[in-house]
Structure 1
């Protein structure tokens, strides 16, 4: 059954409607699909297609869904929403509000200001929020229903092997040589005298702005060490409920009154002064200047000596590498994976070209099983950082096999099993819904099953 073939591929694309779509509705609109009491308009499909084309501009090898596939995706979502309502699945107003706020913040980042966004959309922020409310609630209900349908789906080693054995040898993917690596990362701490000097500089910037000697934007250009400052002059749209922001930065921002500039605030990135531009409830627009206290050779050497002693303890079997990661590493994200360097697919085996150049150079001196000497390098924020590298393993170029690629195979097998579960669910439930598909789309192969149900309903009415 084809009916859910795109549910996993396009499930999260359906909410990408661009604000321009709010003012580009087709005047002579038309209902082209119905599931129960949920309607799909022709303008919904056309606006989604326009937005996807816009987002794909400049991208290569992007295959966009056609109108038939988008209609199918919309029908799928409507059916899931109906069942979610029947099963009394709950999406709280707080969840919806947070999602709406996140959508608006994305647009504000894209357009630069509230005024520009409202001008382009032809609607106020309040009106845009209301436009998104039903869509977002439906999205969350359908996601929750899909999760409920597949939540008990697990995969066993026997099923993974059976899945793998069905793949023809000629169809098995080829993998280049890959490496498995773990690391312990420590950011050297600046000495207190240097920190005090940076705090004094930031306090002076604040004084200059408040006295009218200089402007905030000019000082951002001259002194801020935030890499994004060149593009946004240190301005951000933040929300109190977002967990991605540094807690000290967030707390300092929301303590301010509009126009007020904070005293220097320490975050995990360095020291800031923050100016509150505007605030509305849990949303705020702020500007900041970031200064990172410079690290001297003394601090780097202290950190190198620490990691050197950690290496000796590991080699003496006094602790494992994973235990050392938990105890010493400043990279919180890797503590649950023993410091593993992971690829975009979450695999702990990565291609050499996915590693930073300093690590590639270091690996040339190591063999599998070795732990490097402490290495000084610049992280992605430009900070002087020190690490130990554990070269766990190197694979040879190979065709996919269960010994080296079990996790990859099991993930694909699990996804296939979930798709089959979704197909089974739709086969059982679609006949229970009132379905209408406009004749314009009856030629879509993706909509064959939906059209059959719709035709059966019409036939029942006739007889």
Structure 2
């Protein structure tokens, strides 16, 4: 069973967790006379758990492998095996990871149902109640992912393994490689007016004064005004974080805070301007809350940056210098400047310069989709990964049309296929062995099921 399948199944338990406990949110689940149908270790699986997953699976259009009456309780049981092992191995997930996952799920639910108000009406709960009830399920989901990554982290494949695998693979089973492109960019960051910077700093000073006077809390102001969507809903809290994962200027201030009652000086980072408040320190990690404010770039500044890029584009096309030289000497994009402007795609198997169009920022994808190899786009503006407005020209360095994979052209794709297969085999073997070593009791009506894993019936 694929890692993604386990994760997807875990997600199904997230959107309606209280229904599995027999609350009044679902008449279908409520009408079930609850009973224990499986026991895995010291964990019980209830009939209502299965019905909840079934209902949500229908809503999501999910297809179960085999008979759903057998597949659903089996998948819940597999989750419990992973969670049990995660507890033994002391696998931990941070509050920040859990909170971020909850917010993503809530945003998805809102996008489906239409608004926060409609979601609250449908669930018959406030947003705070919904978040609270999602917490345990999301923690389990993160634990399962972490446990699976731990189990397969040492698996590797050699070039010989890849060649042997594909030598015996039927022609109709060879993977199809979608169209991929390599893209170089030159970016210019429009200058922010000093008046706008002063305005933002004055706002942050006002927030600090209000906290110091006791008029309101830092958390309340973060929820109302912070422009960091990942933390604003949590009152600005980052969760326990190491120095290396933070912007250096931000980290220098955050790790030097000592008094939780005080608010830091204003800090400028690559994301904007912040004020920070200490929550706690634990070893080499710190937990702080912050308020981020981003100065607004004027249209005049954007137009100037676009005009400069248009001039750079003309100079490159006239042969005054190469795109690569321009990217190295002129571009403001620090992620690509030292690589001749070449964009990098971070995947679960490492970094590559190849992108499928849907994996590029949408503005970049639109700009290069109709270009020929070697062409340079018109200047355009976009929001970069740090939330800042930037202006860009893009060059299509290479384009590989969709095709069946070959060893010579697509070795990395084929290696990823073999690696994923080895990982799934490892996880399958682990589950089977875990079943053998775990107390399992299955209701008699499930004993004729054709399960994916052997050993449930003892």
What TM-score comes out, normalization by structure 1 length?
0.63
Q: Give, in whole Å, the separation in 2 of the partners of 1:7 and 1:415.
A: 9
Partner of 2:409: 404
| Farther off after superposition, 327-336 or 10-19 | 327-336
Give 1:63's aligned residue.
Answer: 63
C-alpha displacement of 1:413:
0.5
Of 34, 52, 57, the residue aligned with 1:47 is 52
Q: For 2:273 and 2:151, how far apart are their aligned partners in 1?
A: 48
Query: Secondary structure of the residue that 2:379 maps to in structure 1?
Result: strand
2:165 is aligned to 163
Question: Are the aligned partners of 1:180 and 1:393 in contact in 2 as well (CA < 8 Å)?
Answer: yes
Question: Is residue 292 from structure 1 mapped to residue 296 from structure 2 by the alignment?
Answer: yes
CA contact (8 A) 1:177 1:397 kept: yes
Is contact 2:196–2:295 with CA below 8 Å preserved after alignment? Answer: no
1:231 is matched with none
Deviation at 1:366, TM superposition (A): 4.8
CA-to-aligned-CA distance 1:327-361 (integer Å, 9 cap, x gap): 94426489789732649897644456776577666
Corresponding residue for residue 446 of structure 1 = 451
Q: How does 1:7-22 map to 2 (within 5 A)?
A: 8-11=4-7, 13-18=9-14, 20-22=16-18
Greater radius of gyration (CA): 1
Query: Is residue 434 from structure 1 mapped to residue 439 from structure 2 by the alignment?
Result: yes
Q: Could you tell me whether the CA contact under 8 Å between 2:313 and 2:376 is conserved in 1?
A: no
**How far apart, in 2, do the equivalents of 1:145 and 1:387 lie?**
41
Are the aligned partners of 1:172 and 1:400 in contact in 2 as well (CA < 8 Å)? yes
Distance 1:155 1:101 in 2: 35
Gaps of 5+ in 2: 23-29, 111-115, 210-224, 280-286
1:162 positional shift: 1.5
Counterpart-to-counterpart distance in 2, 1:409 and 1:384: 38
Tell me how far apart the structure 1 counterparts of residues 416 and 39 of structure 2 sit (CA, whole Å): 34
- Bigger CA drift: 148-157 or 425-434? 425-434
* Aligned alpha-carbon RMSD (Å): 5.6
Distance 1:126 1:351 in 2: 34
Q: Determine the C-alpha separation between the residues in 2 that align with 1:315 and 1:37.
A: 66
* 2:136 counterpart residue number: 132
Deviation at 1:155, TM superposition (A): 0.6
Instruction: Give how far 1:417 is off.
Output: 1.0
- Report if the CA contact (8 A) 1:14-1:48 is conserved: no
1:7–1:73 Cα contact (<8 Å) kept: no
Q: CA deviation at 1:178?
A: 3.8
Q: 2 CA distance for matches of 1:17 and 1:404?
A: 41
Aligned with 1:421 (options 426, 437, 440): 426
Partner of 2:194: 195
Q: Deviations over 1:129-185 (max 9, x none)?
A: 8x728x836862x44443343222101111111222222223334446543223243
Aligned length: 403
Q: 1:424, CA displacement in angstroms?
A: 3.0
Partner-residue secondary structure (3-state), 1:404: coil
Structure 1 residue 21 displacement after superposition: 3.2
Give the structure 2 partner of residue 217 of structure 1.
Answer: none
Q: Give the TM-score taking structure 2 as reference length.
A: 0.63
* CA distance in structure 2 between the aligned counterparts of 1:313 and 1:102, rounded to whole angstroms: 47
- The alignment status of 1:35 with 2:40, answered yes or no, reads yes
* C-alpha distance in 2 between matches for 1:424 and 1:146: 12
Q: Verify: 1:376 aligned to 2:379, yes or no.
A: yes
Distance of 1:365 and 1:107 partners within structure 2:
37
Check 1:236–1:20 CA distance in 2 against 1; reply closer, same or farther (3 A cut). same
How many Å apart are 1:447 and its aligned residue? 5.2
Residue 342 of structure 2 corresponds to which residue in structure 1?
339
Deviations along 1:401-425, one digit per CA (max 9) or x if unpaired, are: 1222222211111011112223333
Distance between the aligned counterparts of 1:359 and 1:84, measured in 2? 40
Tell me the SS of whatever aligns to 1:446. coil
Q: Distance in 2 between matches of 1:6 and 1:201?
A: 48
SS of residue matched to 1:293 = coil
Q: Which structure 1 residue ranges, 5 or more long, are not aligned?
A: 211-223, 229-233, 455-463
In structure 2, distance between residues paired with 1:171 and 1:179 = 24
Residues 310/69 of structure 1: CA separation in 2 closer, same or farther (3 Å cut) = farther
Deviation at 1:445, TM superposition (A): 1.8
* Structure 1 residues 363 and 420, CA gap change in structure 2 (3 angstroms): closer
**Offset at residue 309 of structure 1 (A):** 8.6
Match of 2:239 in 1: 241
Q: Deviations over 1:378-423 (max 9, x none)?
A: 2147976443534332334532212222222111110111122233
